[in-house]
Structure 1
Amino acid sequence: MGDDREGGARHRPGRAVAYAVCGAVLLSGCASMPDSGDLRDVESTPRQDTGVRVFAMPPAENAEPSEIMQGFLEALTSDDPEYDTARKYLTTDAARTWRPEQSATVLANGPSVVADHQPAGREAGDTLTYVLAGTRVATVDGEQAYAPADGAYRNRVHLIKDAKSGEWRIDSLPQGVVMGKTDFQRNYTSVNKYYFASSTTVRTTGQPVAVADPVFVRSKVDPMTQVVRSLLTGPSTWLRPVVRSSFPTGTDLRKGVSGLAPDDQNRLTVPLNARASRVGSARCTEMATQLLFTLRNLTPTLDAVELQGPGGHRLCDLREGDAESAAWHASAQRPDNLYFLDGKHRLVRLPTLGTGTSAVPVPGPLGRGERQLRSVAVSRDERTVAGIGADGRNLYVTSLEPDGSLGGPVVSSQALNANDRLTTPSWDAGGDLWVADPDPRDPKLYVVEQGVGKPVRVTVPDLPGRIRDVRVAADGARVALVVEKDGKQSLLIGRIARDEESGENPAVVELRSAAPDLEQITAMAWAGDSRLVAVGLEQGGVHQMRYVQVDGSALDGPAPAALSGVMAIAASEDERAPLVAYSEDDGVVRLPSGAQWQKVDKDGTAPVYPG
């Protein structure tokens, strides 16, 4: 199974065919298996060239059972679109019923392959069973959604020898595909699909808010067509209750369409079936917006999309600038300012993209230092600020206007210990404000509508501990929580359920881990539409700063430069904005792209971007 297979004993080189830009080449040494004895772990030569498409070889004549297993496992990690070569290692019946698209199981080091006990009796020598085993890392389901997993993996693959041809073939096997982590990273890529939040619109404009739904597609098997089909099929099961799609139910690509690609003007034409042929112009614009947001995530140079109905009838088209007007998504919003508390306990701000370090007080009472604070949150439109008092007991909300005033507390904590009082607050794009009270006697999570309404207690049915930090996603559909239990902190993502008609309190449901191998998390922030940055202790390791995906998958690319003593982190969904942190040793520091950490304010604390 690619790079993840560990070997031993003598080996016989396997083969695969790779098609590159210049033509076809033969890759030898891609996989190897023992010549005799038990069939053990399988190893292969790493394939590093992402521009090369790899296709496995069909079974050789009179191949031994070990060679059948070798070829089949290699075929699972090839770039064969329909796994046609892998099916050639199966009997006719098994090939018809096997569904490789049903799931992908990712193992830590690839599957260990061992021959099971030999059958007794008359059929001895005509059948053979192999056991695939390993340690689970994750699964990708039929919706292409990723989920971390653990525990042992163990499945059997059964082979028979055909009485007429004398050829060995697999006649029983698990559904889906299985491969090691390295092979998975080589074969699959993560892409954000975009839908619209059901319950959130931008407070100032009324625009619908785009919500990212990450999926994994095979990176060299017509990925653009895969992503479009996945978008049209609809959101993942986990996200579905809180988002909507503008595509009518049953919308699909026109029959036979494949190989979608932009033309030389960076314009993509998407032919749809009849289900989409009668939508109005406004809805068609939303459909095109979903496509453009999604596909620019895969192909950043894409400038426009055109939707066509049956017979090539043009439904609508949309350019990038028009999409940004049609809907709001966080990664396209560049914050004007970075905010933090200076040594005089004033709220100050600094232009996001500037290189200077001379911050100025914000307008209003918090810029005048009328109340000492320990943390703040600035609304997405940068018009309102929420602050937690220095003792952590009270939450205050005021405008960023020269004549603004500071009223009484909006939320208060009664916790005896200052460390058990209110967390840093957080705003979504709809203008709602979130804050947690980790009082051990009665831990609570609140949402304050528009930052001025009566605090509403949010239920969290499956909460495994106390909330130590909360960051609501800009879309108002998801929330990131640092949850403490037995002295350890974990980073969880929950879906925000709102039922305005029933009048029931909002709830955070179906919590899942975004960083399964991190504990003792000291800081986190959203750093993209489906990405966060977290500071925590790796299991058995040291504290580190890392980008993580909301689905718990690993991210390609380097981690931020190391920084000691990080107590708070500020990031923007717009990845052009530099990462900012508060370090006990250095105060407020920032990390421009391609540079090292730079000091901003030695006495500063609590840095935040809007949100």
Structure 2
Amino acid sequence: MIGRRRMRARLAGALAALSAAALLAGCVMIPTSGEVLSVPIEEDQAEEQVTFLPRGPQAGATQEEILQGFVTAGLGPQDGYQVAKQFLAPEFATDWNPTESVLVSSRREPVVRLGAERLELGVQVDAVVDAAGVYRSSRGGGVQDLEFEFEEVDGEWRISGAPDGTVVSAGTFRTLFEPYPLYFVDPSAAFLVPDVRWYPRLATSGTRMARSLIQGPSAWLEGAVTTSFPEGTRLASPVQIEDGVARVELSPEALEAGQAGRSRMLSQLRETLGALGTVSGVELVVRDLPIDVAAGEPLEAEPRAEADPLVLGEDGFGFAGDDGLRRIAGVSAVVEELEPDAVVLSRDRASAAIRTEAGVSLVRDGEAAPVDERPDLVAPSIDPHGWLWSASRTGDRTLRLVDGSGAVVELDSGLPDRGVLTALRVSRDGSRLLAAVRGADSSVLLAAAIIRDADLVPVEIGEAVTVATESAAIVDAAWVSGDSVASLTQDAGGAHVRITQLGGFTSGFGEETAAGAIAAGEGGSTGIRLLEGDRVLQPSGAGGWRAVERGVRVLGVQQ
């Protein structure tokens, strides 16, 4: 019999290889093979969904037909993949774990016979979703060989050995699975930070979401965000949703949390389960008794920004709205005098980071203090805790950070040494760093965790993960929301906006323009603004853009 350890090792190798590759690539659409019935159903959600009802094994089926039927049955997660388990020998059916991983495949190789009772199926792996729902994708991930063993049960062939997990075509994946953000707490306990996971569209999704939330964030976010549930806390029973209230029963370890911790636990669950569309409240329970949770400080899941664009133009520096330019006390006059080519405004609007020919400066209280005079600097960023971020576009990748008191921190960014750094943006919650690096033949969009000490001083940058790879040049990037970013690419045909969900997919947005800069304000993708010449463009519907401001030299960034 094929060793279970050996087969799991093969899949573990696939996971490890993809973990080191890109988080995201384009979705390749192919037909789903095999007999399967597709039926639209209505669930207690806002939109119509689709469930797949695969058929069980047929009498007299060959080993090859049983294998084909088993793989196809992986499209039906209902009742714990009961149809898929019908293709397995009874003893093995209790051992096989269908939720261990999902291999997202764009192509299957012909089945190869390895022996009288052994078959091998090769699949082109484009992405892997692990047991926690974390999606990892890679272009050209290679073919993974999956081995299957068979035995006769009451005169019919059944599978007695197979890798854990399922195989789903790339085209079917988006139909069967849904991205859900799990929310974790930043070190300041002021923000909820999303971590996107993918789960089948089932009534049990809330249970998987709560369980993963308790377990903690994805590996790349460790150290930057935390879960508020005390160590050892478990989900004691499935999440029950009734009349919009999710009943979450936890193990007794949850009681070790103080009132502040309990309040954060409740906030995490409320925001996370709210993504289901059927949950408006959460009740925490231990041993059938509700947990007392006092009201705590509110946590922001989506830090607010201005809807009006931030500009430096003919009328000065400020927010350009229908009622004219709204200037910013202690900042606008200095920015207008120094005429920078890049500006980012702090969350409290008390300071700004600017770039001029002399380098990067921090503007505060009507004065500008130089903080980085290295040559060829990228446009700076600023975080919600008052730290200005600066880096060279080429050469040394050391990050220089300066706060309002003049304290200086230098960190190794861990970004690629080669190429040109074209964008550096700290997320509005201050927990993640977004960077764009342009190479000779392609560009890459990267994200990394920002790890801080107890005083919220950045002390380390986590290992960068690839968000997207583009053949065109990425010239600028922006945070669109807590879990989505936008890149502005340029090629011979013009400029294009691409929106990427972290831990998800990339899609084009809007028509081609001649823009050279991008920023985002309130409203998600509708808050995207472009600078084309001296015009600020905003989405106009139906994929178009319309000018909302003219005479603009610099499109500012809001923290």
Alignment deviations for residues 386-438 of structure 1 (CA, whole Å, 9 cap, x no partner):
2111x2x3222223xxxx4223412212x2xxxxx222221222222212222
Distance in 2 (alpha carbons) for counterparts of 1:15 and 1:582: 49
Residues 157, 170 of structure 1: 8 Å contact kept: no
Residues 309, 521 of structure 2: 8 Å contact kept: no
Distance in 1 (alpha carbons) for counterparts of 2:288 and 2:331: 63
Q: SS at the partner of 2:324?
A: coil
Structure 1 residue 17: Cα displacement: 7.8
Distance in 2 (alpha carbons) for counterparts of 1:495 and 1:397: 24
Residues 274, 310 of structure 1: 8 Å contact kept: yes
Distance in 2 (alpha carbons) for counterparts of 1:523 and 1:100: 41
1:169 to 135, 140, 158: 158
Tell me which residue corresponds to 1:528: 481
One-letter amino acid of the structure 2 residue matched with residue 91 of structure 1? A
Larger Rg: 1
Distance in 2 (alpha carbons) for counterparts of 1:456 and 1:430: 14
Aligned pairs (5 A) from 1:67-466: 67-107=65-105, 109=106, 111-117=107-113, 119=115, 126-134=116-124, 136-149=125-138, 150-162=140-152, 165-198=154-187, 201=188, 207-255=189-237, 257-258=238-239, 260-263=240-243, 266-299=244-277, 302-316=279-293, 325-329=297-301, 331-335=302-306, 337-343=308-314, 346-351=316-321, 356=322, 358-364=324-330, 366-367=332-333, 369-389=336-356, 391=357, 393-399=358-364, 404-413=365-374, 415=375, 421-440=376-395, 442-449=396-403, 451-461=404-414, 463-465=416-418, 466=420
Distance in 1 (alpha carbons) for counterparts of 2:472 and 2:134: 24
Structure 1 residue 253: Cα displacement: 2.6
One-letter amino acid of the structure 2 residue matched with residue 308 of structure 1? V
One-letter amino acid of the structure 2 residue matched with residue 528 of structure 1? S
Structure 1 residue 336: Cα displacement: 6.5
Q: Quickly say closer, same or farther: Cα 1:3–1:366, change in 2 above 3 A.
A: closer
Structure 1 residue 574: Cα displacement: 4.8
Verify: 1:610 aligned to 2:558, yes or no. Answer: yes
Aligned pairs (5 A) from 1:432-581: 432-440=387-395, 442-449=396-403, 451-461=404-414, 463-465=416-418, 466-486=420-440, 488-499=442-453, 506-517=459-470, 519-536=472-489, 543-551=495-503, 553-554=504-505, 559-572=508-521, 574-575=523-524, 578-581=527-530
Q: Quickly say closer, same or farther: Cα 1:576–1:113, change in 2 above 3 A.
A: closer
Structure 1 residue 113: Cα displacement: 4.2
Distance in 2 (alpha carbons) for counterparts of 1:174 and 1:406: 64
Distance in 1 (alpha carbons) for counterparts of 2:82 and 2:488: 44
Q: Quickly say closer, same or farther: Cα 1:593–1:216, change in 2 above 3 A.
A: same
In structure 2, list runs of 5 or more residues that go unmatched: 1-27
Q: Quickly say closer, same or farther: Cα 1:237–1:412, change in 2 above 3 A.
A: same
Residues 3, 182 of structure 1: 8 Å contact kept: yes
Structure 1 residue 221: Cα displacement: 4.5
Residues 241, 279 of structure 2: 8 Å contact kept: no
Structure 1 residue 582: Cα displacement: 0.5
Q: SS at the partner of 2:362?
A: strand
Alignment deviations for residues 550-572 of structure 1 (CA, whole Å, 9 cap, x no partner):
23x215xx743214122111113
Alignment deviations for residues 115-139 of structure 1 (CA, whole Å, 9 cap, x no partner):
32474xxxxxx535242222x3211
Distance in 2 (alpha carbons) for counterparts of 1:373 and 1:504: 27
Q: What TM-score do you get using the length of structure 1 for normalisation?
A: 0.78
Structure 1 residue 3: Cα displacement: 7.2
Percent of aligned pairs sharing the same letter: 22
Q: What TM-score do you get using the length of structure 2 for normalisation?
A: 0.85
Q: Quickly say closer, same or farther: Cα 1:434–1:408, change in 2 above 3 A.
A: closer
Residues 65, 159 of structure 1: 8 Å contact kept: no
Q: Quickly say closer, same or farther: Cα 1:178–1:194, change in 2 above 3 A.
A: same
Q: SS at the partner of 2:210?
A: helix
One-letter amino acid of the structure 2 residue matched with residue 587 of structure 1? R
One-letter amino acid of the structure 2 residue matched with residue 554 of structure 1? F
Distance in 2 (alpha carbons) for counterparts of 1:335 and 1:388: 22
One-letter amino acid of the structure 2 residue matched with residue 326 of structure 1? P
